[in-house]
Amino acid sequence: MPHQTALLVIDAQESFRHRPYFRDDEFLPYIEKQQALIDGAKAGGIPVVQIFHVDEDVEFTIASGLVRPIAPLTFAPDVVFHKHRHSALVGTGLGVWLTENGIQRLIVSGIRTEQCCETTTRHASDLGYGVDYVSEATLTFPMTDANGREWSASEIRARTELVLAGRFARILTVRDALAIDGKAAA
């Protein structure tokens, strides 16, 4: 019987390395966790869905050559989608693929924690999917708010976990997401 769970790897692409806000300080721990999640999913027969963000910003155009997996991440996805919005479920065909493959639970990972990963999580939950949000396998960068306060990546990650937990998703570690494999009750 095919898995009812799929791993989404959202926007883990070279484009981000060329943005002015990109920082290396949390990059290697993210890569380690993201690769472990991908490898574990593959080993467990969980389909891996790669989603790339494509838009008019130079770094995000297909012509830039940067819409490819961020190094040193390596894997062969089961399917690839290109998105033009924050949610991977808008205009990509992902929803059709999930339905055709009997997917009922999503494991969310990728770049950026509070943007495309969080938005896809909320959208998927509202559509009725069970969602496991693997925060340690997401990456973001510091942001400055309207009052001039800089929010660290860890503060943004904590805020994202706070607003998603128990409402839109289960917040899990890589290890727990792979152990559960979508079989436990939400």
* Residues sharing a CB contact under 8 Å with residue 17, sequence separation 6 or more, in sequence order: 66, 70
What pLDDT score does 16 carry? 97
Q: Is 136 inside any structural domain?
A: yes
Q: pLDDT digit string (tens) for 51-68?
A: 999 999 999 999 999 999
Tokens in use for 54?
Answer: 């494509």
* Residues sharing a CB contact under 8 Å with residue 114, sequence separation 6 or more, in sequence order: 140, 143, 156, 157, 159, 160
Q: Is 142 inside any structural domain?
A: yes
Q: Which residues pair with 143 in a beta bridge?
A: 151
Confidence grade of residue 1 (pLDDT, cut at 50, 70, 90): very low
What pLDDT score does 2 carry? 62
Confidence grade of residue 181 (pLDDT, cut at 50, 70, 90): low
Spatial distance between the Cα atoms of 71 and 24, rounded to a whole number of angstroms: 13
Q: pLDDT digit string (tens) for 68-86?
A: 999 999 999 999 999 999 9
pTM of the model as a whole: 0.94
Q: How far apart are the first and last CA of the chain?
A: 21
pLDDT at 184 over 70: no
Q: Is 32 inside any structural domain?
A: yes
Confidence grade of residue 182 (pLDDT, cut at 50, 70, 90): very low
Q: What angle do CA 164, 169, 103 make, to 5 degrees?
A: 145
Q: Is 186 inside any structural domain?
A: no
Spatial distance between the Cα atoms of 141 and 152, rounded to a whole number of angstroms: 7
Q: Helix, strand or coil for residue 9?
A: strand
What pLDDT score does 3 carry? 78
Spatial distance between the Cα atoms of 125 and 118, rounded to a whole number of angstroms: 11
Which CATH number covers residue 56? 3.40.50.850
Q: pLDDT digit string (tens) for 90-139?
A: 999 999 999 999 999 999 999 999 999 999 999 999 999 999 999 999 99
Please give the single-letter amino acid code of residue 163. Answer: V
Taking CA atoms, 175 is separated from 31, 37, 76, 93, 102, in Å, by: 15, 8, 21, 29, 24
Tally of structural domains, the chain: 1
* Residues of the domain holding 38: 5-180
Q: Is 88 inside any structural domain?
A: yes
Q: Is 116 inside any structural domain?
A: yes
State the average pLDDT over residues 22-42.
97
State the average pLDDT over residues 28-53.
98
Q: Is 185 inside any structural domain?
A: no
- Give the residue, 4 or 3, on which the prediction is more confident: 4
